[in-house]
Structure 1
């Protein structure tokens, strides 16, 4: 009996389970359908997002292309503008695009080039000029065209504060004149704040520290004024020579009795002062007439150009190797080599050595300084090599 009841109960449960199967199948199909719909919606959103990204990239490429075109047009316009610029004027081109038309406006503006300070110095024709130029034309007739083209004039404002002259020369060594002017201003204004300006120094303001003031200034402070460590040591060494009396000339009267070699021997003991600085000092500040600056590039180039006709077989000029006096007491020069000899030290083809320059300039004595003045102007186109005096 009990076994029969259990059989009926199991049969009933199986029947109920079988009746639930269609419902479960329907629910599963409904869920699967909803999931498929959601998947389609998601895929559609992804495609939409990808489409937006592609549109953004296309827009960015379009903007970049526009920028490239505009940059190219600007460069072409700049090239066209450069072609129309003249030495004295500059052309400004303005392009406006309104109502579909392009209007080009050209305006000429005068160009102003900053003048080098020393070109403003007053100059004059010295009293000895006529005799000197006559002598040079007689001894070297090829100088006559240069002398006719460039009337000889020298500066009149020779500075007699020789410590100031030499210090400014050291500060200006191997740098552009604008940088030198800035350093000199910082150097002087450290000792005299609010008393000097760049313009006043350009105009000949003589305000300047004494050797004692410079010698008592620390290296760090001199570096703060814009001097390199090396130039700071040079300036202090120069001040030390003046303070200790190793440089004996302190005024123009004292210098008049000194020979060039005596002046050079005192100056060459100072660190930072070499033969070129000594030559410039004697030619400009002291107005010595028979100085030949063999280390100056401008003078060398001018001499190479001037004596080009005397350059043969890699040798410059004529060498006098021996001299003798005849029976009448007349000096006779024996020339053993007509084409010259190679000087010590190898120079490039066509370049003069210092020995070549000394030999070729013998004919200019005692006015080699004036002949050098003309060699600067003979060196090349005006402005290529500037004459320091």
Structure 2
């Protein structure tokens, strides 16, 4: 059988490629957390505080010039509400926290809407109402069993008057930070970070340094980078007291792992910011990243 051979070199193959025009849509803008739309204002103490910070730490001046200092002007005085919302918002995305808070409040306040909550509706169950709510009903609001138990423990502390500053403004003002923290840290689900955020944001205390906040730590590491040498943050300062050489001052020797600040490093380096460490911390959030802000629903 004779087979004709084909010279492949004489055959021209044309490849046709169909071009498909891809429509490029506009990138979706990230949804804005409605809790961050709360009204802002410049507090009366801001000018004196910022002048002091620029004097003791001139390296803060560019940040202060870039970001005008403003705080929320609608501080909530229902501390049970504030702390309950904070517990609900722990370790979850703000969208999930918002949904759970709405379900939780609507269980006690029929007719309340998500939009009204976003707009600052302050209606909220009382501690006694929460204590009388069975666990399965709290779970039906989207709360985990652990968080439901935290909310009930918080309600118990308020109901029994263990949190004494809740209804006494004079006592609240008289309590030192350590005394106030001691009352709150007895509540399950409330740790040092939550206490710091509560005192700094809700109570507007001016000399709080949240050493457990990652954003503030990163901001401080960036801000004080020039003071990091040979694994140590800061320098040794010697002062003469009663004829003895003593290590002390605003900066001192610290132990740093891979250039990270420890809590004690942060406390020592921030000593120069007193009595306005809260305000300096506000700037450290912005120094760490333009998007770093307090995200807890407080």
Bin the TM-score by the shorter chain: 0.7 to 0.9
| Number of the residue aligned with 2:185 | 268
Deviation at 1:348, TM superposition (A): 3.5
In 2, the alpha carbon distance for the partners of 1:244 and 1:342 equals 43
* Residue-by-residue CA offset, 1:195-217 (whole Å, 9 max, x unaligned): x1111111100010000000111
Q: Which has the higher helix share?
A: 1
Mind listing any 5+ residue stretches in structure 2 that lack a counterpart? Answer: 1-17
Instruction: Name the Cα RMSD after superposition.
Output: 2.5
| Number of the residue aligned with 2:165 | 249
| Number of the residue aligned with 1:237 | 153
| Number of the residue aligned with 1:292 | 209
1:375 counterpart SS class: helix
Name the count of aligned residue pairs.
Answer: 279
Q: CA distance change for structure 1 residues 338 and 121 in 2, over 3 Å: closer, same or farther?
A: closer
Q: CA distance change for structure 1 residues 117 and 323 in 2, over 3 Å: closer, same or farther?
A: farther
Q: CA distance change for structure 1 residues 339 and 288 in 2, over 3 Å: closer, same or farther?
A: closer
Conserved in 2, the CA contact under 8 Å of 1:223 and 1:229? yes
In 2, the alpha carbon distance for the partners of 1:361 and 1:338 equals 8
In 1, the alpha carbon distance for the partners of 2:124 and 2:103 equals 11
Q: CA distance change for structure 1 residues 219 and 199 in 2, over 3 Å: closer, same or farther?
A: same
Tell me which stretches of 4 or more aligned residues in structure 1 moved more than 6 Å.
336-339
- TM-score normalised to structure 2 length: 0.87
| Number of the residue aligned with 2:269 | 360
| Number of the residue aligned with 1:374 | 283
Say which of 243, 253, 265 aligns to 1:341.
Answer: 253
Counterparts of residues 91-240 of structure 1 (less than 5 Å): 111-194=28-111, 196-240=112-156
Q: CA distance change for structure 1 residues 358 and 220 in 2, over 3 Å: closer, same or farther?
A: same
* Residue-by-residue CA offset, 1:289-323 (whole Å, 9 max, x unaligned): 00000000000000000000000011101244655
- Larger RCO, structures 1/2 (Cα 8 Å, 6+ apart): 2
| Number of the residue aligned with 1:386 | 293
In 2, the alpha carbon distance for the partners of 1:207 and 1:372 equals 31
Say which of 211, 219, 222 aligns to 1:302.
Answer: 219
In 2, the alpha carbon distance for the partners of 1:278 and 1:372 equals 15
Conserved in 2, the CA contact under 8 Å of 1:319 and 1:338? no
In 1, the alpha carbon distance for the partners of 2:59 and 2:270 equals 13
Deviation at 1:258, TM superposition (A): 1.0
Q: CA distance change for structure 1 residues 337 and 291 in 2, over 3 Å: closer, same or farther?
A: closer
Conserved in 1, the CA contact under 8 Å of 2:252 and 2:268? no
Conserved in 2, the CA contact under 8 Å of 1:318 and 1:337? no
- TM-score normalised to structure 1 length: 0.67
Deviation at 1:349, TM superposition (A): 0.3
* Residue-by-residue CA offset, 1:139-158 (whole Å, 9 max, x unaligned): 00000000000010111100
In 2, the alpha carbon distance for the partners of 1:290 and 1:145 equals 21
